[in-house]
Amino acid sequence: MANKDAKSEERHYVYLVRCADDSLYCGWTTDLERRMEAHNGHVPGGAKYTRGRRPVTLVYSESFHNKQDAQRREYAI
């Protein structure tokens, strides 16, 4: 039951990063800090798009209570 409660409080983030070439990349995640580390190559993961455009800097984020709302917002952006 505790796991279900933790899951219901989980946040989903939509974010924009500015790449070294001044382009923008939009994505969504449940762990914003880890995702930024991944985009910058400090931990495995990250997007293929950002790999060749490092370093990236977080310029904007929004949080949502569920994945579907976050994904809808990412698509809208």
Mean pLDDT calculated for residue range 49-61 = 97
CA angle at residue 49 from 64 to 42, to 5 degrees? 75
Mean pLDDT calculated for residue range 5-28 = 90
Quick one: pLDDT band at residue 2, thresholds 50, 70, 90? very low
Q: What is the distance of C-alpha 68 from the center of its chain?
A: 14
Quick one: pLDDT band at residue 9, thresholds 50, 70, 90? confident
Give the pLDDT confidence score for residue 39 in this predicted structure. 97
pLDDT, averaged across the chain: 92
pLDDT tens column, 23-44: 999 999 999 999 999 999 999 9
Domains and CATH numbers, the chain: 2-76 (3.40.1440)
